[in-house]
Chain A
Amino acid sequence: MKALVIDDAPDIRIYVRSLLEKWGYEAIDASEGLEGLARIRDSGIPIVVCDWEMPGMSGPDFCRAIRKAEMGHYVYVILLTGRSEKADLVEGLNAGADDFLSKPLDAQVLNARVRVAKRIVHLEQRLAEQNRQLQSSRNKLQQAYDQIQSDLTAAARIQRQMLPTSDRVLLPLRAEWLFLPAAQVSGDSFNFFELTPDRIGFYHLDVSGHGIPAALLSASLNRSLVPGGGPGVAAQADFLDPAMFLTDLNRQLSDADTEVENFATVVYGTLDKRTGEGEIALAGHPLPIIHRRHGEIEYLKPGGLPVGMFPEVAYDSQQFRLDAGERLILYSDGVTECQDAGGEAFGDTQLQAVATTDTPASSQSFTDRLADSLREWRGSSDFEDDISVLVLERQAEAGPES
């Protein structure tokens, strides 16, 4: 281990240096503080024995300079002094000295004090090594975390690309929608598509749980629920028969031998663009709402269990009809379960209220108003659960409203 002796008196300097060499240290000497500092900087010396009284930079000055400098390692300083006043000791310690050795020098005591220094330097070096290792694992963790974040952002982007971009395919029906994912990736999804020239298919789904597993199931369901979306259930399912469709989908997803981790609540339906006649099947989803022309709210009847739980579950279809100026509202429970600061849920009543305050004169769409109401209720834009809404509307006939 390297050690440095700083003393303006050559005899003491050489004496101490030769003692240190005898004890196995790689000893260097300097005749004044600045030179000492340069030596430490050049050769990373951890132990210094330094005289107190020196012309120019004194021992305490040297200590202060060492503590201020960035040496990259700890420097243990023993001050040599003839002083024994309490005030002097305090000054030395305050300046940054680690230990004192009184003059005249006693070789045995010096040996013991330098051994203490060596022990402490070893401890410091071990600590520094551990810190380096910690820092290195921290950096690796940070890299992994950054990678996950960027993957999640990419996943969220892909997910958004699965959502509809335009309702042109529905014309003369119209659609509007709202999608406010809670985490980066969401378990909610919805879409609509043409089945025959007159009939459209539509779905709204909510996968249990959050994050990656929910998003993956949601993505796979999206493929199954769109004609031509991929192999599997979509290839053979009858998209025109909602009950049969959900029964097949559920059988495909449920496996009696695997433990239920994720399931999905789904609404799947078809709707005739000209007549407004529709057929719909529900799997554990919040009950869709029909907003009638004169403002009444009707709920569809409950359906079957969520898909992905039990393989042998039968689903029923129910008929509905949208007249001109009426709309079907599909939503996830993230809407009705959205909690305010006090833990109170937004609830069905408020959802109905937002739906029915709509007037033809209102320039803001229902989904925009709902988004505003939910943010206001929540007190922020951070939602605990995914919020999504799909509205299918049969537009009012041209001409004055009755």
Chain B
Amino acid sequence: MNLEHRTLDGIDIVKLPERLMMADASTARAAVKEIIGLGTGKLILDLADTTFIDSSGLAVLVSSLQAARKKDGDVYLIHMGNTVRALCELTRLHTVFQIFDDEAAALRALK
């Protein structure tokens, strides 16, 4: 899966796909993992396009966070839509992720 990805001052900004479920989730997982492996561990995941997410999709977010923290980094989530937000709140995951409205706010916090 080719995810839209750019790097700004050592911070990887990755746009997640529209569907983050089942098979799509495992390809996205591999792609994000590779980016974290090559980068500094500071990561912004952009969820602007992500409208379909299930528990496999949540596992992608959590495994990214684990991988980033191993490099003393962190994962910030931006542009979270209502569906993703609802699932994050249901599973209480909003308590472990830093969530920001937009990239500028996330960048300020990560720097």
Binding site for B on A (CB under 8 A): 206, 208-210, 256, 259-263, 265, 284, 286, 302-306, 309-310, 333, 385
Contact = CB atoms under 8 A, between A and B. Distances in A.
A341 to B, nearest CB: 16
A284 B90 CA distance: 6
A208 B67 contact: no
A305 B55 contact: no
Contacts of A206: 55
A305 B90 contact: no
A260 B91 contact: no
Nearest to B62: A260
B59 A385 contact: no
Given A259-B67, A305-B95, A385-B54, A208 B90 contact: no
Say what secondary structure dominates the interface of chain A.
loop
Contacts, number: 49
21 contacts: A208-B54, A208-B55, A208-B56, A208-B58, A208-B59, A209-B55, A210-B22, A259-B33, A259-B63, A261-B59, A263-B55, A263-B58, A265-B91, A284-B91, A284-B92, A302-B89, A304-B92, A305-B91, A305-B93, A306-B91, A333-B90
Contacts of A284: 90-93
A24 B22 CA distance: 62
Interface string B40-67: 0000000000000011101100110011
A259 B54 CA distance: 18
A268 to B, nearest CB: 15
Contact of A305 (B54, B56, B92): B92
Interface of B is mostly: helix
B96 interface: yes
Contacts of B66: 256, 259-260
Contacts of B33: 259
Most buried by A among B33, B55, B56: B55
A305 B96 contact: yes
A305 B93 CA distance: 6
Given A305-B91, A306-B92, 11 more contacts: A259-B66, A259-B67, A260-B63, A262-B59, A263-B58, A284-B92, A305-B93, A305-B96, A306-B91, A309-B62, A333-B90
Counting from the closest, the 10 A-B pairs by CB-CB distance are: A208-B55, A284-B91, A260-B63, A260-B62, A259-B63, A305-B92, A209-B56, A309-B62, A284-B92, A260-B59
